[in-house]
Amino acid sequence: MSEAERTFDAQDSVCPFCGVGCQLTYVEQSGTATGTTGPVNTKGEICPKGAAAFDVVDSDDRLTQPLVREHGHLVTAPWETALDRAERQIQSVVDEHGPNAVAFFASSNCTNEENYLFQKLARTLGTNNVDNCARLCHASTVAAMQSRFGAGAMTNSLDDLREADVFLVTGANPAEQHPVAFRSYLLPAITDGTTTIHVDPRVNDTTEAADIHLPVRPGYDIPLLNAMAAVIVEEDLVDEAFLDERTEGFDVFREFVDGVDVAENAAEAGVTESDLRAAAVAYATADRAAAFTGMGMSQHHCGTDNVHALLNLALLTGNVGRRGTGVNPLRGQNNVQGAGDVGTLPDTLPGYRSVADPDDRAAVAEEWGVEPPTEPGLTEVEATHAFGEDVHAAVVFGENPVLTEPNANGVTEAFQRLDSLVVIDLFETETAQYADVVLPGSAWAEKSGTVTNTDRQVLRMRAMGEPPGDARRDLEVVAELGDRLTDHEYPTDPAAVFDELTRVSPIYAGMSYEGVGDGGQRWPFPADADSGETVLHRETFANGERTAPLVPVEHVPPADELDEGELVLTTGRVITHFNSGALTRRSGTLTRMDSGSVLQINPDDAEARGIEDGERVRVFNDRGEVTTVADVTPATRPGTVFTTFHYDDPAVNRLTGDVLDPTAKIPEYKHAAVGVERL
């Protein structure tokens, strides 16, 4: 496919990458994207990934025909053949083992309508085994916030957060991962004097803008946050009125923090006591303090507890329910918030109704004509672990778990144990290598629908062109699979699907496809920004309770214990690449800006191993090994090395462990014990 064959109409759509949700369009002269004035990027700002978003659409690697496996090899096939094969294989697994032997991996990169139909397909087939990669991402944040506040989403809007006097940014690097939110909302406030505390084992672009840096040891956020709580209580900086009116359990919590030794916890967390105290005092004495939380907090086998410890700080100091405050998870992909909202989760139906609640199931059954199953399904990593045992078929829609799930060597073995794998993607990805059927879908600029951004705004995507070759719109592909596998209605018009969604999901009730197209609609809907209604938990928490509990949280040591000479590997992202790199590695513009895979290693650790900057290194543990290039830098704390998971080689998840958080089932991507040596 050469570029000359593709034409696009300039239409306002939403960037396919991060959860900020910048609006952009096509520029014919340059063949690239440009920002337009959108609900979030109100001055039309975009970052380098947004600007390169057409590189993906136009990539020569795009799948243009379905593929089926013949004699061990994927070969092109007509749609009828591929769909027949997919239908026959999944049906035979259902016939033999029942519907719970099929797992559905939904896509946070795809629209609300596509995801809504996808979970409807799973549930009308008879299984709640449907999940999206929020599981790998903010599942723990959502679990903690849902249980204490009644809503697992940003408490505030990006807009009102500009009013904060203090930002506490923990386990997140928004300067690189949410660049437009950072530059257009956080940075102007910081320039105007908002004090910024950054809790991160590394110095990165966010740290450069911060006043206080707490270089926490990976996995030791609970001792750090508990010590901050102890300082706040000890120095009498709590908000008494808020504690009385809006919280419960302060007496027990006070006893708990009375037992916390601030100096000891600071040492355990690897930060200086004075900096920790300064951070606690700054946060607690601010009129408005806003916390941002990211993967450094959520991706631990104690991720839910990490977030609980952070929620305690907000409750102690009355930093909930007002503009410029709250606890704000910066969400991952352009529709990870929406994928959860519309029900691609194993325990909740659209709108976070519970699969276990008969009334909730009945409400959905009224629309679908069939009741969803009662038993919560398997989460994503649990499903992978069950491949070949309880799960025999999987449909992977817009995800690349072979590179992105933890313990990748185990994951590739698990995929080989499936009887049937159907992949819907744009590319022949690492995951597609294990597929029996690969169905070519549509890229962002070839689809219409809605996505929900990090601050709960439902935004409109508009198709600017047709998918290449025989590739089809994702909505049609999912609907076709649904038609073949179940007896239900799967509309293929996004407006009709959105309409159905507003009837099934209470949080989208009252919204309309046209209204969303006209500048976005935010849940709770309607919310009047001027009267502060875009801030959650103002008079009561979202669960209807007037109070939320303070919860003592005990430290949970990381799953991997360090052997003599081992370092802690933590993983994350850089501005130029996105997740498994399936999209960004195919962009010439972005790869030219990128320096390739490196391992950040502190000079002390490098010297002890005789490693010079730029030398190739082997990183290994008993799960696997990878090779990469040493970036010797004091930016990472001694004892901690850092790299990204954006490449197929090195496939860094060979090193990460798959012990899961007991509540949220999120893996510990942010702490693995590794050996590092010069090659």
For ligand SF4, the binding residues (CB under 6 A) are 15, 17-18, 20-22, 46-47, 49-50, 178-180
Is residue 449 a contact point for ligand MGD (CB under 6 A)?
Answer: no
The one-letter amino acid at 389:
E
Sign of the Cα pseudo-torsion (113, 119, 125, 130, in order):
positive
DSSP 338: H
The entry of Mo ion, ligand MGD, ligand SF4, none near residue 325 (CB within 5 to 8 angstroms by kind) is none
Nearer to ligand SF4, 352 or 444 (CB): 444
- Rg of the chain taking only CA atoms, in angstroms: 24
Write the binding mask 157 to 196 for ligand MGD: x where contact by CB under 6 A, - elsewhere: -------------xxxx--xx-------------------
Q: Which of 55, 59, 51, 56 is nearest to 33 (CA)?
A: 51
Residues numbered 323 to 382 that lie near Mo ion (CB under 5 A) are: 332
The entry of Mo ion, ligand MGD, ligand SF4, none near residue 454 (CB within 5 to 8 angstroms by kind) is none
Is residue 560 a contact point for ligand MGD (CB under 6 A)?
Answer: no
- Binding-residue total with Mo ion (CB under 5 A): 2
Q: Measured from the CB of residue 581, what is the shortest distance to ligand SF4 in angstroms?
A: 14
- Binding-residue total with ligand MGD (CB under 6 A): 62
Nearer to ligand MGD, 107 or 157 (CB): 107
Is residue 307 a contact point for Mo ion (CB under 5 A)?
Answer: no
Query: Could you give the C-alpha distances from 604 to 5, 616, 632, in angstroms and in order?
Result: 54, 17, 9
Q: Measured from the CB of residue 560, what is the shortest distance to ligand MGD in angstroms?
A: 12
The window from 28-36, 129-137, 200-208, 637-645 that contacts Mo ion (CB under 5 A) reads: 129-137
- For ligand MGD, the binding residue among 399, 436, 605, 658 (CB under 6 A) is 399
Nearer to ligand MGD, 242 or 444 (CB): 444
Q: How many Cβ atoms are within 10 Å of 501's Cβ, its own excluded?
A: 29
Sign of the Cα pseudo-torsion (232, 235, 237, 243, in order):
positive
Residues numbered 8 to 37 that lie near ligand MGD (CB under 6 A) are: 16, 18
Is residue 577 a contact point for ligand MGD (CB under 6 A)?
Answer: yes
Q: Measured from the CB of residue 178, what is the shortest distance to ligand SF4 in angstroms?
A: 6
Is residue 602 a contact point for ligand MGD (CB under 6 A)?
Answer: no
Q: Measured from the CB of residue 674, what is the shortest distance to ligand SF4 in angstroms?
A: 30
Is residue 407 a contact point for ligand MGD (CB under 6 A)?
Answer: no
Contact assessment for residue 611 and residue 627, using Cβ atoms and an 8 Å cutoff: no
Report the alpha-carbon angle 452-458-463, nearest 5.
90
The entry of ligand MGD, Mo ion, ligand SF4, none near residue 645 (CB within 5 to 8 angstroms by kind) is ligand MGD
The residue with its CB nearest to ligand SF4 is 50
String of DSSP letters for 449-516: EEEE-TTSEEEEE---SPPSTT---HHHHHHHHHHHHSSS-----HHHHHHHHHHH-GGGTT--HHHH
Nearer to ligand SF4, 21 or 467 (CB): 21
- Helices and strands of the chain, counted as H and E runs: 27, 28
Sign of the Cα pseudo-torsion (439, 445, 449, 454, in order):
positive
Contact assessment for residue 355 and residue 365, using Cβ atoms and an 8 Å cutoff: no
Is residue 215 a contact point for ligand MGD (CB under 6 A)?
Answer: no
Sheet with 449-452, edge to edge strand ranges:
449-452, 457-461, 521-522
Looking at the DSSP assignment, which residues form a beta bridge with residue 168?
A: 197, 291
Q: How far is CA 556 from the centre of its chain?
A: 23
Distance CA 264, CA 273 (A): 9
Q: Measured from the CB of residue 455, what is the shortest distance to ligand SF4 in angstroms?
A: 12
Contact assessment for residue 497 and residue 113, using Cβ atoms and an 8 Å cutoff: yes
Q: Measured from the CB of residue 638, what is the shortest distance to ligand MGD in angstroms?
A: 14
Contact assessment for residue 289 and residue 164, using Cβ atoms and an 8 Å cutoff: yes
Structure tokens at 109: 């990169």
Is residue 296 a contact point for ligand MGD (CB under 6 A)?
Answer: yes
What residues line the site for ligand MGD (CB under 6 A)?
16, 18, 107, 109-110, 133, 136-137, 170-173, 176-177, 199-202, 204, 216, 218-219, 221, 294-297, 299, 332-333, 398-401, 404, 424-427, 429, 441, 443-444, 474, 570-573, 575, 577-580, 582-583, 642, 645, 652-653, 656, 669-670
